[in-house]
Amino acid sequence: MRRFTGAMTRTSTLSNPFALWTDLALQTSSMMMASAQVIQHRTLRMMNASTPPSPRDTAEFTLMGQEKLAAATEVLQGVTTRAMTHDVQAGMKIMKDMTAVQADLFSLASARTVAQAMARNEKLGRSLKRAGLTAATLSDHTATMALRALKPIRSRAMANAKRLGKLK
C-alpha cells in the first residue's frame, strides 16, 4: 500500500493500476475549478480597482505574484530532487530488466533440447514478470511525482478559492 495524500485511497498499481492516475485527475480537476474561481475574482477585482489601487488591492495583487513564484520554486525543487535520485535508479533498473529479458530470449532461442527450452522459458517468464513489475512501479512513481508537483499549486489555488470566496 502507498501512503495516502490525496482524495482517494492509494494502492499499488498491481491491485489497481488506475488509482494514482485517477487521484491525479481528480486533484487536477479540483485545482482547475478553484483556479477558475480565483481568476474570476481577481480579474473582477483588477477591473474594479481604483487608480492607484487601494492598500488592500495592492496587497492582493502582490500576493498573486509571490504565490506563483513560491509554488513554482517548490515544484522545481521537488521534481529536481526526485529526478536526481529516483529517476537514475529507475532508469538503471529498467535497463537491467530489459537486458535480462533480451538475454533470456536469446538463451531460449538457442536451446538444444526440449528440457533446456522449458527451463529457459521459465527463466524468461521470471524476467518478464520482473520487467512488468518495474513498468508498474515506474507508472506508480510517475503519477506520484505528478501529484507531488501539483500539490503546491493546488494547495494555493484551493486556499485562495476558499479565502476569496469569503471576501466580497
Joined grid coordinates for residue 75? 515544484
Domains held by the chain: number: 1
pLDDT digits (tens, 9 = 90+) for 42-91: 999 999 999 999 999 999 899 988 998 899 899 988 888 877 777 788 88
Q: What is the pLDDT of residues 82-102, one digit of tens each?
A: 777 777 888 888 899 999 999
Q: Which candidate, 99, 162, 90, 165, places its Cα nearest to that of 133?
A: 90
Note whether residue 11 is domain-resident: no
The answer to the question of residue 1 being in a domain is no
Task: Determine, yes or no, domain membership for 73.
Answer: yes
| 138 close to 154: Cβ distance less than 8 angstroms | no
What are 115-134's pLDDT values in tens digits?
999 999 999 999 999 998 88
Residue 132 placed within a domain: yes
Task: Examine residue 49 and state whether it is found in any structural domain, yes or no.
Answer: no
Contact 22, 7 (CB under 8 A): no
Query: Is the pTM here over 0.85, yes or no?
Result: no
Print the domain residue range for 105.
19-42+65-166
- CA 72 from centre of chain: 15
Residue 89 lies in a domain: yes
